[in-house]
Structure 1
Amino acid sequence: MPENSSPQPLEARVRTQVQVPLRFADGFTASADVFTFRNLADRKEHLLLGLGDWQESLARAREGFEAPLVRPHSECLTGDVLGSERCDCGPQLREAVERISKAGGFLLYLRQEGRGIGLYAKLDAYALQDDGLDTYAANVALGRGEDERDYFVAAQMLRAVGVGSIRLLSNNPDKARQLGAYGITVTERVPTAAHVSAANVRYLAAKRDHTAHTLDLA
């Protein structure tokens, strides 16, 4: 969470809800209710996808049953769209859509490319990683933070659709910490699978060792 961030609005509002059929490269299909918002703190065009029977999941949570399954997923053009194996973002997105569709819940697609440093800077960091730096040291060498993401807008979006508590589908403990600080109760942390390739194993090991991601690379 940035220490010198500007004052942030407390409430976002839904501006559009539209149903979008999804189809992944392996043939998996799902249907998403896609929400857009007004009054998000950073003024970016983030999306929230309601997957599976998300309405029933919300209703059950209000009756004291388990919270909906939620994944905040950071945009990754190289991984999500181009299928890059330098990260695990594409497989995590595919896994999350299927798991949330079965359980009922939400996927937040957040415009936070490169852990918040942007697409070009991320590719600059890749070049530094090719010279031996790990993913965090490369960001710092560019004069950026190790991870510049802030999840205030994620909390705004969840509250706008009536979500106050979640089961968090993520390996990243910082997501749980930040969402909790912003008023979203994380009742359970649910890890994703470890999507390992020869091209990303060093990247995943850095996430495990440097920022305590829940990853079993054995």
Structure 2
Amino acid sequence: MDATTLSAGHTPLADASVRTRVTIPLRFADGYEVTAEAVTFRGLADGREHVALVLGDPSAPTAPLVRLHSECLTGDVFGSARCDCGPQLREAVQRIAETGGVLLYLRQEGRGIGLYNKLDAYALQDAGLDTYEANTALGLPEDGRDYTAAAQMLTALGVTELDLLTNNPDKAQQLRDLGVAVRFVRPTGVFATDSNVRYLHAKAEHTHHTIELPATAALAALAG
């Protein structure tokens, strides 16, 4: 596949363009503060209102650090302990600000199934299914995310090579398939709690996320 062409519908990466740039001071619950440039886009393949947060100096000599962060209302906004999304977002913002790069905040709630379906899946998880089994029991994909729009956003920002902050090998593979040069993959931290250990264990075992759980946490997940 030509590097200027996307696999989904063979849409040129250059079809997307920057719409607006605005400076936003960010402040997290633990007191951490940083200034970000929020960027919106025109022409994204999926038509959703994704946003990029440019942090630090993305033009530093090394490749910018980039995270594709899928929206999680329950974790990012309300601090739900059933996932690790909120802590990952907080960590990513600081790490990217320190080295220079971009956080893409992608409107892909529940690995692409939407908020209501995600909450329905939670109910099935309470009955014993894991996070992937619950999605399929609802007739939905285990992971419905497509990173075509992310590749377009990066291209519109002039990012041609990057280091990717993720534990999810699918993100790096999709970006590479879409013609984005991923130099290195940098793992995020592991944010295990009693409430999310089964969820993290499922991600490590089922989709090979690079999550190293403490032995006690892994045993708790298997027993849970």
TM-score range normalised by the length of the shorter chain: over 0.9
Q: 2:83 aligns to what SS in structure 1?
A: coil
Structure 1 residue aligned with 2:32: 28
Preserved contact between residue 9 and residue 41 of structure 1 (Cα < 8 Å): no
Question: 1:107 aligns to what SS in structure 2?
Answer: strand
Q: Deviation of residue 109 (structure 1)?
A: 0.1
- In structure 1, the partner of 2:106 is 110
1:19 to 23, 30, 40: 23
TM-score, L = length of structure 1: 0.93
Q: What CA deviation, in whole Å up to 9, does each residue of 1:145-185 have, x standing for no partner? A: 00000001000000001001110000000000000000111
Alpha-carbon deviation of 1:124?
0.2
SS at match of 2:24: strand
Q: How does 1:206-217 map to 2 (within 5 A)?
A: 206-217=202-213
Q: CA RMSD in A?
A: 1.2
Residue 82 of structure 1 is matched in structure 2 by 78
Shift of 1:8: 3.4
CA distance in 2, matches of 1:181, 1:50: 24
Deviation at 1:6, TM superposition (A): 4.7
1:146 to 142, 148, 151: 142
Matched, 1:123 2:123: no
Q: Aligned to 1:10, which of 8, 13, 19?
A: 13
Which blocks of at least 5 consecutive residues in structure 1 are unaligned?
61-65
Where does structure 1 differ by over 4 angstroms across 4 or more consecutive aligned residues?
4-7
Stretches of structure 2 that go unaligned for 5 or more consecutive residues are 1-6, 215-224
Q: Which residue of 1 aligns with 2:177?
A: 181
Q: Is the 8 A contact 1:179 1:186 kept in 2?
A: yes
CA contact (8 A) 1:70 1:107 kept: yes
Q: For the residues of structure 2 that align with 1:112 and 1:52, how far apart are their CA atoms? A: 25
SS at match of 1:115: helix
Structure 1 position 30, deviation (Å): 0.6
TM-score, length-normalised on structure 2? 0.90
Distance 1:111 1:105 in 2: 19
Does the CA contact (< 8 Å) of 1:21 and 1:30 recur in 2?
yes
What SS does the corresponding residue of 1:17 show, helix, strand or coil?
strand
Q: Which residue of the partner structure matches residue 165 of structure 1? A: 161
- Tell me, in whole angstroms, the C-alpha distance in 1 between the residues paired with 2:202 and 2:107: 23
**1:10 positional shift:** 3.1
Alignment of 1:130-141 (within 5 A): 130-141=126-137
Q: Any idea what SS the aligned residue of 1:73 has?
A: strand
Work out the CA distance in 1 between the residues paired with 2:46 and 2:9.
10
Contact 2:83–2:196 at 8 Å: present in 1 too?
A: yes
The equivalences for 1:34-113 within 5 A come to 34-54=38-58, 56-57=59-60, 60=61, 66-113=62-109
In 1, distance between residues paired with 2:195 and 2:107? 24
